[in-house]
Amino acid sequence: MKFLVTNDDGINASGIRVLAQSLAKIGEVMVIAPHTEKSGSGHSITVHHPLRLNKSNAIPNIDHVYMLDGTPADCVKMAIQGLNFIPDLVVSGINLGANLSTDVLYSGTVSAAIEGVILGYPSIAISQCDNFDHLDTAAYFLQIIIKRLTNPLPKNSLLNINVPGLPINQVKGIKVTKLGIRIFEDAIEKRLDPRGRPYYWLGGTPKSLPLKEFDDDHDQLAVENGYVSVTPINFDLTDYSLLNELKGIIETETTPE
């Protein structure tokens, strides 16, 4: 198998090193990752300035390692459309921190995997929750999941994997989950600076909610209960349930007055 490996924590993060070295045991690995941490930079693609691509020796025992001064999505584009690498699987991670529920809309890690499926390749995003001492747990479960995926994923889909911060033998198992909602309550904290002027911190406590009432199989719950969560993701955000109702209300073949 040929793996394209990227992340949003940057080429020097421990997560991508553990990921690449683990996948190298079962296939050919190309690593191309941002040269610095990009987890704050969202989903953007770099169009305002040109990109530099350089070989990197950040990951011992892997031959094809590159760093790019761009975003995670840029890295996937560069590998596939610039370097003509044809992966069997794009893997983004191992992210240091959960990417659960509505997090996926903001996550650079998941964004890279979405870029992979937009370009037509099966993709996985993998994140390590809470305790970063257990990257080996994430790598272990990723191998298990790849082995079980005997059929390739449909080309428009990807898997978002979140692994609890536990030693391998304390993980309860693997659950296939839905996305929930993660809302931060008391999200904005007002403080005064030394001159008495207000400033604001975004923070608050994450509250796990199901997307639909009574759903008890969302990803946050699985991870809280000690399971690895695997959520299939589709990047088609069209709300098909609203489509026909809206047609009747809104559509018109002339300019309305």
123 and 90 Cβ atoms separated by less than 8 Å? yes
Phi, psi of 252 (to 5 degrees): -155, 150
Binding segment for a copy of itself (CB under 8 A), chosen from 24-32, 43-51, 57-65, 85-93, is: 43-51
Candidates 177, 136, 181; CA nearest to 160 is 177
Candidates 59, 43, 53; CA nearest to 11 is 59
Structure tokens at 256: 């309305």
Q: 189 vs 20, 78, 194, CA distance in Å? A: 40, 40, 16
Within 8 A by CB and 6+ apart from 148, the residues are none
Smallest gap, in angstroms, from Cβ of residue 207 to a copy of itself? 12
176 counts as binding a copy of itself under rule CB under 8 A: yes
118 counts as binding a copy of itself under rule CB under 8 A: yes
Structure tokens at 125: 């995003």
Among 198, 205, 213, 216, binds a copy of itself (CB under 8 A): 198
Phi, psi of 91 (to 5 degrees): -125, 125
Site for a copy of itself in 141-160 (CB under 8 A): 144-145, 148-151, 153-154, 156-157, 159
Among 25, 57, 60, 190, binds a copy of itself (CB under 8 A): 190
168 counts as binding a copy of itself under rule CB under 8 A: yes
From residue 77 to residue 116, the character string flagging contacts with a copy of itself as x (rule: CB under 8 A) and all else as - is xx--xx-------------------x-xxx----x--x--
From residue 236 to residue 255, the character string flagging contacts with a copy of itself as x (rule: CB under 8 A) and all else as - is xxxxxxxx--xx-xxxxxxx
The size of the interface with a copy of itself (CB under 8 A), counted in residues, is 87
124 counts as binding a copy of itself under rule CB under 8 A: no
Q: Which is nearer to a copy of itself, 60 or 198 (CB)?
A: 198
216 counts as binding a copy of itself under rule CB under 8 A: no
Residues 132 and 244: their CA atoms lie apart, in Å, by 47
